[in-house]
Structure 1
Amino acid sequence: MDSLLQLAADPAVWAALVTLVVMEVVLGIDNLVFISILSNKLPEHQRQSARRIGLSLALIMRIALLFSIAWLVGLTKPVFDLGFHGAVGAHGEPTFDTAFSWRDLILIAGGLFLLWKATKEIHHSVDPAPTGDVMDTSKAVISNFGSAIFQIIMLDLVFSIDSILTAVGMTDHVPVMIVAVVIAVAVMFLAADPLANFINNNPTVVMLALGFLLMIGLVLIADGFGVHVPKGYIYAAMAFSALVEGLNMWSRANHAKKAKQAADGEAKGD
């Protein structure tokens, strides 16, 4: 208890907490977009439950990993080396690592999964199944809910490991990391339903979100191969794309409003 009070009285700890909360929220955007897209594929009465289960599992995984820091740090140690080097940089250094750790393998697997899932969803959006296809709805509902939860768990694991390893590099105080994770997941809980509903109600945003998942998948794979893309570039690109899409939505809304006013004017003239 005394140690916790000492932490609470240290301004540096509060600064680290604020920084960690912001970082965890930003890193959680990827996870939240994926959960939103998956949950929106379910029947409407199951969507909120899937999102809450997914975020609850994300919180549990992050806290469990925080209490297993020694094991988690061990995941960064190389487990095998391919023993060759590809192209070299300007100073003669290899452009990618040939020694792979468990963390690298998990990131590569998670990135490949995101690429597969996003590509599959894009294909479904571009070329949907014929409406005449007959399907057993009851079985599909159960299978889809279980499949959605399983996929959420897999991506939660990838994002949790990446998030906690970043947090470990910023502070040595586990209680501070736990508080930051709890606050960040609470923010994600509040944002989950509005974000999912917004994505569901705007089809063009769905395609944009899937594009984000493709980009995130490629970044995870690159990170697994030792090519570290600064996260700031990724989120700046996502923010710029979202801004452009927002302007497009604003433009479409104005055109629709003017068209409605013109139609109302013609109706009154008649």
Structure 2
Amino acid sequence: MEYLLELAASPAAWAALVTLIAMEVVLGIDNLLFISILTNKLPEDIRPRARKIGIGLALVMRLGLLSTVAFIVQLVEPVFSVFGQAFSWRDLILIAGGLFLVWKATKEIHHTMAPHEEQQEATGELIKVSFSAAIVQILILDLVFSVDSIITAVGMTEHIPIMVIAVVFAVMTMLLAAGPLANFINHNPSIIMLALGFLLLIGTTLIAEGFGAHVPKGYIYAAMAFSAGIEALNMVQRRRRAH
């Protein structure tokens, strides 16, 4: 308790908390985009449940990883080298997650361009399989984003309570934003392609970071914000022409 009171009275701790919350929320955008696009493929009546389960798994996984911070820190230690390039477990996780994200985004773009190839009847069995597949895919990406999120948190502060508060706040924000974001993407077809493009960019960035190429996330999110702004102007223009 005394330790927590000392943190509460420390301006540096509050500054670290605010900075870490902002960073965790920004990093959560990637995960939220994937969850939104994936759950929109499910029947409408089970989408909210899938989103809650996916985001709940992200919270459980991140809190679980926080309890093993000493182990997580070791993930950045090199385990082998290839042609002079050292790879850690974190690098391998990022590369695998990036490849999965690129594959999934490419597949979804193909299905969006040729939706007639994906016509299936919504029988109970198919819904169950689709729901299970969606949860498994969300879990895979949750693991990748959670490891990256926790390593970022460890690099910004050494205080576990600050990390826990920041992670819980970020995931709660994701939970509140998941429904509106998914509905917005679903009701605006052009946004779907833009979001899939974002996922391709994020996946490529994860692969690059896994191979040791540092890509400033500020550039990535600035590019995403610029593209989203342009698309917002296009949407306004289309609505004015429609009226």
TM-score by length of 2: 0.98
Instruction: Tell me the distance in 1 between the aligned counterparts of 2:209 and 2:32.
Output: 20
Q: Which residue of 2 aligns with 1:104?
A: 91
Deviations 1:156-210 (A, max 9, x none): 0000000110110010000000001111111111111000000000000000000
1:129: Cα distance to partner? Answer: 2.5
Give the Å deviation of 1:138.
2.1
Instruction: State the SS of the aligned residue for 2:33.
Output: helix
Question: Which runs of at least 4 in structure 1 moved beyond 3 Å after TM superposition?
Answer: 133-136
Q: What is the letter of the counterpart of residue 131 of structure 2?
A: F
Cα separation, partners in 2 of 1:76 and 1:2, compared to 1, 3 Å: same
* Of 115, 118, 132, the match for 2:105: 118
**2:43–2:122 Cα contact (<8 Å) kept:** no
Q: C-alpha separation between the residues in 1 aligned to 2:122 and 2:202?
A: 34
Amino acid across the alignment from 2:26: V
Report deviation, 1:130. Answer: 4.9
Encode CA deviations 1:64-96: one digit per residue, 9 max, x unaligned. Answer: 1111011101111111111x25xxxxxxxxxxx
- Return the alpha-carbon distance in structure 1 between the equivalents of residues 242 and 5 of structure 2: 58
Contact 2:111 2:117 in 1 (8 A): no
Secondary structure of 1:229's counterpart equals coil
Q: Deviations over 1:230-267 (max 9, x none)?
A: 0000000000000000000000000001xxxxxxxxxx
2 CA distance for matches of 1:53 and 1:65? Answer: 18
Q: Look up the equivalent residue of 1:65 and give its one-letter code.
A: L
Q: Deviations over 1:3-28 (max 9, x none)?
A: 10111011110110000000000000
Q: 1:64 to 1:186 in 2, by over 3 A?
A: same
Aligned residues: 243
Residue 67 of structure 1 aligns to which amino acid in structure 2?
Answer: S
Structure 2 residue ranges without an equivalent (≥5): none
Residue type of the partner of 1:8?
A: A
Percent identity between matched residues is: 65
Pairing of 1:7-22 with structure 2 (within 5 A)? 7-22=7-22
Deviation for aligned residue 1:140: 1.5
Shift of 1:137: 2.3
The structure-2 alpha-carbon separation of the partners of 1:205 and 1:252, relative to structure 1 and needing over 3 Å to count, comes to: same
Structure 2 CA distance, aligned partners of 1:130 and 1:146?
21
Confirm whether residue 37 of structure 1 aligns to residue 24 of structure 2: no
Task: For 2:239 and 2:116, locate their aligned partners in 1 and report how far apart those are by CA, in whole Å.
Answer: 29
Structure 2 partner of 1:190: 176
Name the residue aligned to 1:138. 124
Q: Distance in 2 between matches of 1:18 and 1:205?
A: 30
State the shift of 1:134 in Å: 6.0
**Shift of residue 48, structure 1, vs aligned partner:** 0.4
Partner of 2:134: 148
Partner letter of residue 31 of structure 1?
N
Aligned CA distance change for structure 1 residues 134 and 166 (closer, same or farther; 3 Å): closer
* Contact 2:95–2:210 (Cα < 8 Å) also in 1: yes
The unaligned stretches of length 5 or more in structure 1 are: 86-97, 258-270
Structure number with greater Rg is 1
Aligned residue for 2:212? Answer: 226
Partner of 2:186: 200
